Amino acid sequence: MFTKILIANRGEIACRVAATARRMGVRTVAVYSDADAHARHVQACDEAVHIGGASPRESYLRAERILAAAQATGAQAVHPGYGFLSENEGFAQACVDAGIAFIGPPPSAIAAMGSKSAAKALMERAGVPLVPGYHGERQEPDFLQAQAEAIGFPVLIKASAGGGGKGMRIVQRAEDFAAALASCQREAEASFGSAQVLVERYVRQPRHIEVQVFADAQGQVIHLFERDCSVQRRHQKVLEEAPAPGMTPALRAQMGAAAVAAAKSVGYVGAGTVEFICEQDGHDTGVQAFYFMEMNTRLQVEHPVTEAITGLDLVEWQLRVAAGEPLPLVQDQIALRGHAIEARICAENPAQGFLPATGTLRTLRTPQASRFTHGAVRLDMGVAAGDAISPHYDPMIAKLIVHADSREAALARMDQALAELHITGLQHNVGFLRRLVRTESFSHARLDTALIEREQEALFGTAHTQAQRLHLRDALLGASLRWWLDAQGTAAGRTEGAPTDPWARGDGWALHGHSQRLLTWGWPQPSGLQTLQVQMLQSRDGRIRLRCTDTEGAVLDAEVSALQAQPRPDDLSGSLHIQAQVDGQPWSAHVDLTGPSAATPDPACDVFTAHGHTTLHRLDPLAQQDEHHGGSGQVTAPMPGKVIAVLVSAGQTVKAGEPLVITEAMKMEHSLTAPRDGTVAELLCSVGDQVAEGVELLRLE
């Protein structure tokens, strides 16, 4: 076994590899960029080497610097993680040439599977079924257009060297093909250094099922069952689970055998994943046919669900195989137990097309492991409270994995764990994931890659259900009670220094009768802040009554008694855990502030209750609000990034929704469209510009 390895990656996967290495007594070396000098993966390793600037092209994609770090520190092997150089044939070969073990497959296997076109040709010769399409070398736009028309629309354009949903477009109509091809090729070139694409029939109602394979240098190849990764947005996975719902033993054996055959055909060694696109014969009858899609020659992001149902540590297996040891088990010794689900926690705005977000993690409270059975809840992450999610890397914050005896129990456990995961400081998808696991389609395992689009109303609908009304009620209660406690000077244990003269207090104290206060809260909605007013009345016996009419006319009338508050001094957010009796029933909330107290100008409260997370802004009713900013004709950068295309010129007339500028950030292209009809008055950016969030790019007359 190795005594020291270098981890050529960052974030949660670097921390994950370091944890297994530490348990095995193997020392670790981290590499880091300028942006990651104080990152968690640096602290998790025994040594750390700086390799360059914040951009991956200046650091994590610099193979020569990583190899130099391995040689300088005496590392005997390099673990590439996933992404970056993990599937780079040249990097794997450079490691071998330098006498350093590459903890992954041989360079020849990476080369064979690294090109989707070449891999499909190889699988075709091996008799593995393929989706009808063009997988050849010719790349002229007119030729590819003709191939698409021969296949029949809709078609899928996919980067030949790609992965992770990048460089991929679904095209519904022939007239849209040219623009989609150009965009796909740009993204493929930027992400993978190759603009080559393939075109194939888009399988309707498809399921994405993949099989985990493992091989050793002695020629033994086995599979570790399958994972369903059908729930996706922007062609990137959101939820993964194992085993795949509705999988029969016969079909599992067929797909497992096909995956093993694929690995054997390229002399594979190490951990890999063979991915299949599956057609369904209706939602309830399972998979009708499966086609080879691609092989990922690395560890997958979703490998923890396989670990959960097998009880195995796949990183340990990777290290042992790379060190020349045989696989620890044979196929008949691999047992499947229970059900596991993984949710990717990302910094993004689901309501705005899952636009990636940046910012600082002010709050990061994790599920209470003591409340769950050992091993039932796992959180893999490479960040901590106070860390920044930058525009340079993938926006994933963490991976939440749950395991239970059945799928139903795993779903309930996932919902509870998501409820206990509290994040503030940036936009994220935790609330979206709670709604997603509760949808009719997911909860009943009616899975396909269009599930999110099909469940639009449940996931993004504006009509208020009873649960959503309770959610808003609890948020208003939490924010208002937090304000009231701060106004008294008793929040976060601040009883000292509170005014003793009742006339000096700012909580609405009155000499006779009830004290009253009217609070105005702004509730962020896609259309802007919706204003809600809460009337607070405090009786002389200490009881508090809150009254409010919500946006649909429903009246909130709640009586609060037995109010208690417990500060969390370890939080950067100044969190307060509030407990009370509301209308005679136990009630609690965690409430975080964006400022030191509710007295700061226009503060925000992040309220976490059993129903979910809501942000409310305390509004000054005397302040003037600009309600027409969205119609100003300004087009601004939604996040830091690089301008890669300007599609209009000054004086050009445009229609609402027409693409104007394309930016690149977090490895993805983002098309900025006209907010309304108008004429381009002024261009304020050029191709190649690096722009900050909120910077104006152009203005419409």
Whose structure tokens read 């949710």? 343
CA distance 231 to 564: 42
Dmax over CA atoms of the chain, in Å, equals 90
Distances from the Cα of 367 to the Cαs of 162, 377, 418, in angstroms?
Answer: 35, 8, 8
- AA identity, residue 268: Y
Class of residue 500 by CB neighbours under 10 A (exposed 0-12, middle 13-18, buried 19+):
exposed
Whose structure tokens read 């007594």? 25
Query: Residue 105, preceding bond cis, omega within 30 degrees?
Result: no
**Collapsed DSSP state (helix, strand, coil) of residue 171:** strand
Whose structure tokens read 């229609």? 655
The span from the first CA to the last CA of the chain, in angstroms, equals 68
Q: Is 298 among the residues known to form the active site?
A: yes
Scored b (16 or more CB within 10 A) or e, 61-70 reads: bbbebbbebb
DSSP letters spanning 438-476: HSHHHHTT---TTHHHHTHHHHH--SPPHHHHHHHHHHH
Token pair for 336: 């499947």
Quote the strand ranges of 172-285, DSSP E. 197-201, 207-215, 221-233, 236-242, 270-280
Query: Residue 106, preceding bond cis, omega within 30 degrees?
Result: no
Token pair for 361: 């993690």
Q: Which of 40, 62, 298, 473 is an active site residue?
A: 298
How many C-beta atoms lie closer than 10 Å to residue 635's C-beta? 21
At a CB cut-off of 8 Å and minimum separation 6, what does 87 contact?
110, 114, 163, 296, 297, 298
Q: Which residues are catalytic?
A: 298
